[in-house]
Amino acid sequence: MDIKETLRSSLRDIVLPEIHDIKTEQIKITERLNSVDQRLADINIHLADQSRRIDETNKRIDSVRDELTGRIDSVRDELVSMIGETNKRIDETNNRIDSVGDELVSMIGETNKRIDRLYEVIVRRDEHSEVVIKIIDLEKRVVGLEQRLAA
């Protein structure tokens, strides 16, 4: 039994300290793993919270974008309508201006014909300078009428 005791004593002196060191290391590693696991859990919770916040922000952005898109579409439709109405009014005004211009040209032509006939029939050579002055006066009045109509 002496050998048995010696072996036991040797094993206790050699193996037990090693086992004790291994157990101590295992405890430290376990504590460190638990700490890392806890930190990872905290990070996962934080990331999940951040993800939720990002999702909420994206929903708000989508909502605002949809609202702005609707407003822009509405304003664009209103502007298109207003432009169409303005174009119609411009076309009507242009047609009226063209019509008045045609009337004026016709009236001026008729007036010129009448003046020429009148000149040929009534006016004598010595009255020519008086008639020229009257024609110039008539031309000024016609130009004045044209300017008033153009405004």
Rg, Å, the chain Cα set: 54
Split into its structural domains, the chain has a count of 1
Phi, psi of 27 (to 5 degrees): -65, -45
Please give the pLDDT value at position 124. 63
pLDDT exceeds cutoff 60 at 123: no
Please give the pLDDT value at position 126. 58
138-147 confidence digits (pLDDT tens) = 899 888 888 8
Element at 79 (helix H, strand E): helix 2-122
Please give the pLDDT value at position 35. 93
Identify the band that residue 10 occupies on the pLDDT scale cut at 50, 70 and 90.
confident
Question: pTM to 2 decimals?
Answer: 0.44
Q: How far apart are CA 137 and CA 143, in angstroms?
A: 10
76-96 confidence digits (pLDDT tens) = 999 999 999 999 999 999 999
Closest CA to 114 of 126, 131, 99: 131
Domain range enclosing 78 = 2-150
Please give the pLDDT value at position 62. 93
Identify the band that residue 1 occupies on the pLDDT scale cut at 50, 70 and 90.
low
Cβ atoms of residues 119 and 131 within 8 Å: yes
